[in-house]
Structure 1
Amino acid sequence: MFDDAGLRRHAWDVAASVVDPEIPVLTIADLGVLREVTVEEGRVEVTITPTYSGCPAMNMITLEIELALEREGFRDARVRTVLAPAWTTDWMSEEGHRKLREYGIAPPQAANSRRGLFGKDHVACPQCGSLDTEVISEFGSTACKALWRCKTCREPFDYFKCH
């Protein structure tokens, strides 16, 4: 039998294993969407923050968290969505950045990137590593990604936009 701290750790681990339905190589912990897990009188509450306020994946993520917790014996768990503070790509884990690169998506750059100084990103190609890349469209396969192309290997790739 777990005490509240043990329940919280176990519930966190369960919730943290839920994957993003739009980028299934990332967990919600990798993304930084999973913000907090609390336990009060044996009842679990999971707090999540969407990558942006209209993110269509949030309903699925909420359902997947509830199902994962239910499978592990957490009854009547609650998932709460909070919009403030607003999610930022700075919340993504280094593991998440690595997984994106391996999946072929360029991870977001740090908030203090070149764009902040000069208004231009230099995004490394996840295929060959070249910085000789260009944006094709600010709109990618999902709202959080842009479509880029590498001028060296000529391959198109998604770039996870900074927020």
Structure 2
Amino acid sequence: MDFDHITRPLSDSEAKAEAQRIIAEVMRPERQFPTSFRDDTPLPAYGDTPPEKQDDKRIVPAWAAGIAVASIGVGAGITGVGCGAWLVLQGLASVTLYGVLMVTLPFAGVAMVATAIGGAFSKARKSVSKTYYEGPVVQNTQINNTSHQRGMFSRTRNDVR
């Protein structure tokens, strides 16, 4: 192999020839790569066979990797929830008046704010117009009551006239 071009720059024609040579060498169709290996050496008649190195080239599918990551996340999350529940239950095991007040104080504050906001909305929605009713008033006091009973079912109908 000629290394003269390392010390001096290549001309355009030399660079083109070198590029074509490299491309032709890489793209040679006779390049073959073995896809399997078969050991034809005879096995010993007695004793242990020496171990043969076997490369591990397994590819894990994406769905399996996703399930593994999800299961780790779920396990860590459940552990966190369990630790939190344990801490809360440990705190509730030693209940004092001040502890109960401290636990319920935020909830009472939120409820008070929600009640104030609801009251403000209900007052803002009320109309200020007054309605005056005028006209004749008719009051019917006659009730027509019919009742039918057959077996275990009965039906009552009230008509107001």
Structure with larger RCO (C-alpha < 8 A, sep 6+)? 1
**Which has the higher Rg, Structure 1 or Structure 2?**
2
TM-score normalised by structure 2 residue count = 0.16
TM-score normalised by structure 1 residue count = 0.16
Q: Pick the structure with more strand per residue.
A: 1
Q: Pick the structure with more helix per residue.
A: 2
